[in-house]
Amino acid sequence: MEAASGRARQGRRARLVKRSSRDMEYSSGQLPVNFYCEASSMVLTVILRNCRCVCPGLGWAILCIHVETRRLPLCLYRTLSLEMIMRNIASAIAIVISLSAPALAQKAEIEANNAKWIEMFNKGDFSGIASLYSADATALPPGSAMVQGRPAIEVMWKSMAEQVTDPKLTTVDVKPLGSSAAREIGTFVLKTKGSTPQDVTGKYVVVWEKVGDDWKLATDIWNDGK
């Protein structure tokens, strides 16, 4: 009698779990991966999601792990031991870390270069600013012709410094383009000069190239507005 009652409770629990799993909705960009352990009748679901926080565009990161204890047809699941499951999870974490580490390093170096750019602009060191660009860099200022090469870029920023001051740059996103290039999206705020200074906000896109050990701006485009 007690055994039958236990089996009934187990059946109810299995049905509830199955229903909750069936009704579970995965949002766009999420991928559930199920593993089944025959010895313990354990279903382990590793939910992955397209990583868009720290390392955008790099692949799948572990969002959460959901464990259920129920018996399901083995054909629906990969039959793995618990040890193998944990080993696969560890491998997945290692892959995510290996993919995200270079992106984090690139972002840190790019933000450091942006800080140098701001410091040089405020000091009036426009040759220093030009040195942050690659030798054949192209700048595309709003409403003006393209500016190519370091000497021309130096003249461009010297001219702009007569009209604006106090620039601030915020990196929004860095996407690796291989090991020696990256695309940065960001926003800027600066002040106009004159008797009635005004704040100007805008956005920019920069393609960075690794030249030797240094990151250089290869293409620089920006415009006003959000």
* 21-57 pLDDT per residue, tens: 344 444 444 455 555 444 444 555 555 444 444 434 3
CA neighbor of 144 nearest in space, from 160, 132, 158: 160
CA atoms of 176 and 100, how far apart (whole Å): 10
Map out the domains of the chain as residue ranges. Answer: 2-80, 105-224
Tokens describing residue 18: 């199955």
Percent of the chain scored above 70 by pLDDT?
54
Tokens describing residue 215: 């990151």
pLDDT at 105: 75
Is pLDDT at 221 greater than 70 in this prediction?
yes
Q: The tokens 């933000």 sit on which residue?
A: 111
pLDDT at 22: 40
Average pLDDT over residues 89-104: 57
pLDDT at 123: 96
pLDDT at 106: 86
Is pLDDT at 215 greater than 60 in this prediction?
yes
| Cβ atoms within 10 Å, residue 184 | 24
Average pLDDT over residues 98-108: 66
| Among 82-96, 104-118, 200-214, the least confident range | 82-96
Please check whether residue 27 is in contact with residue 19, taking contact to mean a CB–CB distance below 8 angstroms.
no
Q: Domain 105-224 falls in which CATH fold?
A: Nuclear Transport Factor 2; Chain: A, (3.10.450)
pLDDT at 162: 95
Average pLDDT over residues 167-193: 94
Please check whether residue 45 is in contact with residue 66, taking contact to mean a CB–CB distance below 8 angstroms.
yes
What is the pTM for the complete model shown?
0.58
Q: What sign has the CA pseudo-torsion 18, 20, 23, 25?
A: negative
CA atoms of 208 and 110, how far apart (whole Å): 8
Is pLDDT at 164 greater than 50 in this prediction?
yes
Is pLDDT at 143 greater than 70 in this prediction?
yes
